[in-house]
Amino acid sequence: MTVKATEAVSDSCEIEFIDAEKVKSVRKAMKSANAVSLLADTFRLLGDPTRVRIAFALAKEELCVCDIANLLGVSQSAVSHSLRTLRQMKLVRFRREGKIAYYTLDDEHIARLLDEGFRHVEELV
């Protein structure tokens, strides 16, 4: 079902499209570059064992920086840097109580991402 292309990329393949119909429908459903970029940023932040553990811990309990560091066996500085990037992408939020900063997940989507993700990897055995 090879069909002529309307806008093929020169470097990709010689023939234009194998199935132009499917490509067209997917192109129509495709998310905006901005949404894709934000989502990739979100996943990239979670693409690190330390931050996965931080996020998982914060899904269970509100915790301060010090307790997170001790829980994970990671330096305070490393945790603080990680929390900053997580904060910038709105994955976590925090409140200050005197000297202590308490962090939690920012919304339920993140907790569900973790759940769904763990369900996936548990199938990998």
Partner DNA sequence: ATACTATATGAACATCTGTTCATATAAGCA
Partner DNA sequence: TGCTTATATGAACAGATGTTCATATAGTAT
Binding residues vs DNA (CB under 7 A): 11, 13-15, 18, 44-45, 47-51, 64-66, 74-78, 80-85, 94, 96, 98-101
For residue 64, the Cα-to-chain-centroid distance in whole angstroms is 22
Torsion angle of alpha carbons 86, 116, 52, 33, nearest 10°?
A: -40
Shortest separation between residue 46's beta carbon and DNA, angstroms: 9
Considering only residues 77 to 106 of the shown chain, the ones binding a second copy according to CB under 8 A are 79, 90, 100
Q: Which of 2, 100, 90 is nearest to 46 (CA)?
A: 90
Q: If contact means CB under 5 to 8 A according to the sort of partner, which of a second copy, DNA, none does residue 35 touch?
A: a second copy
| Contact with a second copy (CB under 8 A) among 1, 4, 96, 124 | 124
Sign of CA dihedral 78, 84, 85, 87: positive
Supply angle C-alpha 50, 55, 57, rounded to 5: 95
Which residue number, 81 or 109, has a Cβ lying nearer to DNA? 81
Tell me if 57 contacts a second copy by CB under 8 A: yes
C-alpha radius of gyration, the chain, whole number: 21
What does the block give as tokens for 4?
């002529």
Q: If contact means CB under 5 to 8 A according to the sort of partner, which of DNA, a second copy, none does residue 29 touch?
A: a second copy
Binding-residue pattern over the window 2 to 21 for a second copy, x denoting contact by CB under 8 A? ---x--xx-xxx-xxxxx--
